[in-house]
Amino acid sequence: MSDEFILDARWLEPPEPMERALAALERARPGERIRLLIHREPFPLYELLALRGWHYRTERRDDDCYEVLIFRDGPA
């Protein structure tokens, strides 16, 4: 099981969630995944992830927030 970094960006003003997510990706150790909590589905972030070679899997939670798992290789 690889490391996971939880980033709570709920109710931050755009584009701060994206800025924080990108900063977390820059700091990520090899194999580390980021679990981003956010209040809206971050469509523009997906484009920035693609440009940097990251993958994502998004799930909507019961409280209407989203969990975006960001990873390099298989989500495992």
The residues of the shown chain that bind other proteins, judged by CB under 8 A, are 11, 13-15, 18-20, 22-23, 26, 39-41, 43-44, 46-52, 54-60
Rounded Cα gap, residues 26 and 5, in angstroms: 12
Terminal Cα-to-Cα distance of the chain (whole angstroms)? 8
Closest separation between CB of residue 1 and other proteins, Å?
Answer: 20
Torsion, Cα 61 63 65 66, to 10 degrees, reads -10
Q: Which is nearer to other proteins, 3 or 47 (CB)?
A: 47
Rank residues 8 and 40 by Cβ distance to other proteins and give the closer one.
40
